[in-house]
Homo-oligomer: A and B are copies of this chain.
Amino acid sequence: MKILVLNGPNLNLLGQREPGIYGQTTLAEIEKALQQKAKGQGNELELRQSNIEGELVGWIQEARGSFDVIILNAAAYTHTSVALRDAIAASGVPTIEVHLSNIHAREEFRHKSLIAGVCVGQIAGFGANSYLLALDAAVNIKAKK
């Protein structure tokens, strides 16, 4: 099983960026933890980050046929991107929406996810652990098929 972990804008700053909200773990540390856990499961995992909406769109498209599940933290684009939504629907790869913070407990404009409508489910608010939970969820989704 192959899993693609995609990260949207500003997530490259994790650990430095507003640690009160997003925690002190860096994206590299998250990747390391994910790789370790994936390996333990016998799965392959690839993590990418981009600040560019269109690049994320492209990666989601390419996942078709190459990956079994996408774990997507679209960050700010969660609330503004119809293009990501359409990409997920187009790719047909089951996608899990992940957020470090509990977006439903923050500013009003972060309550609405434009991509939720085409995702399998959402995990939000558990910091770096949100990704690891999503990895478990991914395995489970795959198992059910």
Q: State whether A54 touches B61 (Cβ < 8 A).
A: no
Q: Closest CB of chain B to A25's CB: distance in Å? A: 11
Complex CA–CA separation, A110 to B109 (angstroms): 17
CA distance A114 to B108 in the complex (A): 12
A126–B121 touching, CB < 8 Å = yes
- Would B122 and A133 count as touching, CB distance under 8 A? no
Are B90 and A16 closer than 8 Å at their CB atoms?
yes
A10, A81, A87, A137, most chain B CB atoms within 10 A: A10
Given contacts A51-B57, A120-B125, 17 further A-B contacts (CB under 8 A): A16-B64, A17-B89, A51-B53, A51-B61, A53-B54, A54-B55, A77-B82, A79-B82, A80-B81, A82-B110, A119-B125, A121-B123, A121-B126, A122-B125, A123-B124, A133-B133, A136-B136
